[in-house]
């Protein structure tokens, strides 16, 4: 399933991210703002349970999430989404995956994983701003399904049609929540029009 979050405020943040003149601090701020919106929409239909709440005036009924998602930022670029996502679901567990795309072959090169051992029956939100070829996300989802995950949402900022299609073919049950599906990948595997390298634009070119 694909959900494109095209709220006007999301589109304004996306424009800032796309703009090559946006500096690193402003870019990180727009990633945080947009993540708040993406996670908010990704949780729109999340099951809740009634809880009793006592206001200063009376007892009433409130809501609690039945199952807060496990959050999994994909290093590096997904780290910029972690804090804003966690603020939305403060009780969430957070795991981490490190994967860098080889810019020659476009293959994902994994370098780190720190994940809960058992993810069966628990919603998982993978946080990575860019879904390009889909190789990095497919690798991450393979790690999650190996731990029993069966309810995975990829929370992205910019997706390429190629990456969406790859996920649909390899992991048809995975939900993609994104601010945009752009036109295509270019010959270097960058999303067009995209926003450039999301890791470099937040943290600097390594
Ligand atoms: O869909 P793909 O073709 O795999 O490309 C997307 C990946 O590329 C970027 O990370 P990158 O490899 O640049 O690492 P970084 O976050 O450390 O910059 C991005 O954050 C994704 O993880
Ligand atoms: O356009 C792209 C593609 C992959 N990774 C990025 O950071 N940007
Ligand atoms: Mg990068």
The reply to whether 6 belongs to the active site is no
- For residue 155, report the distance from its CA to the centre of ligand 2, in Å: 15
Render pLDDT for 170-203 as a digit per residue (tens, 0 to 9). Answer: 999 999 999 999 999 999 999 999 999 999 999 9
- Residue 169 sits at the vertex; the CA angle it makes with 164 and 174, to the nearest 5 degrees, is 65
Catalytic site includes residue 101:
yes
pLDDT value for 5: 98
Identified catalytic residue from 13, 28, 101, 166: 101
Pairing status of strand 2-4 against strand 175-178: parallel
**Range(s) of the domain holding residue 152:** 2-203
Ligand nearest the Cα atom of residue 167: 1
Across all residues in the chain, what is the average pLDDT? 98
Domain holding 121: CATH number?
3.40.50.2020
Confidence (pLDDT) at 206: 86
State yes or no: is 197 an active-site residue: yes
> Is 26's pLDDT higher than 90?
yes
pTM, two decimal places: 0.98
Q: Which atom of ligand 1 is nearest to the CA of 185?
A: 3
Q: How many CB atoms lie within 10 A of CB 62?
A: 12
Q: Give the pLDDT confidence score for residue 121 in this predicted structure.
A: 96
ipTM of the complex: 0.98
| Separation CA 12–CA 135 (nearest Å) | 28
Q: What is the pLDDT of residue 152?
A: 98
Give residue-wise pLDDT tens across range 48-104: 999 999 999 999 999 999 999 999 999 999 999 999 999 999 999 999 999 999 999
Report whether 132 belongs to an annotated binding site.
yes
Mean pLDDT, residues 16-40 taken together: 98
The reply, when asked if residue 133 is annotated as ligand binding, is yes
Rounded (10°) angle between helices 135-146 and 161-170: 30
Taking residues 42-46, what's their average pLDDT?
98
Q: Give how far Cα 131 sits from Cα of 86, 125, 159, 166, 171, Å.
A: 21, 14, 5, 10, 14
Q: Inform me whether the pLDDT recorded for 23 exceeds 90.
A: yes
Task: Please give the tally of structural domains in the chain.
Answer: 1
Q: List all residues 6 or more positions away from 43 whose beta carbon is below 8 Å from its beta carbon.
A: 65, 69, 88, 89
Average pLDDT of 148-154? 98
């Amino acid at each position: 399933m694909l959900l494109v979050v095209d709220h006007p405020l999301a589109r304004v943040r996306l424009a800032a991210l796309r703009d090559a003149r946006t500096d690193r601090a402003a870019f990180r701020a727009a990633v945080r703002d947009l993540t708040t919106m993406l996670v908010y929409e990704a949780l729109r239909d999340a099951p809740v349970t009634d809880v009793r709440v006592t206001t200063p005036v009376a007892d009433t009924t409130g809501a609690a999430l039945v199952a807060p998602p496990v959050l999994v930022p994909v290093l590096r670029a997904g780290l910029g989404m972690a804090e804003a996502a966690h603020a939305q679901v403060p009780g969430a567990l957070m795991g981490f995956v490190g994967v860098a795309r080889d810019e020659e072959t476009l293959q994902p090169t994994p370098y780190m994983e720190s994940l809960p051992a058992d993810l069966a029956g628990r919603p998982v939100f993978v946080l990575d701003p860019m879904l390009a070829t889909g190789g990095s996300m497919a690798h991450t989802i393979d790690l999650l399904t190996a731990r029993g995950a069966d309810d995975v949402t990829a929370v992205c900022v910019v997706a390429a049609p190629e990456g969406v299609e790859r996920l649909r073919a390899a992991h048809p049950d995975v939900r993609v929540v994104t601010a945009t599906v752009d036109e295509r990948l270019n010959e270097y595997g960058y999303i067009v029009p995209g926003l450039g390298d999301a890791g470099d634009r937040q943290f600097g070119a390594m």
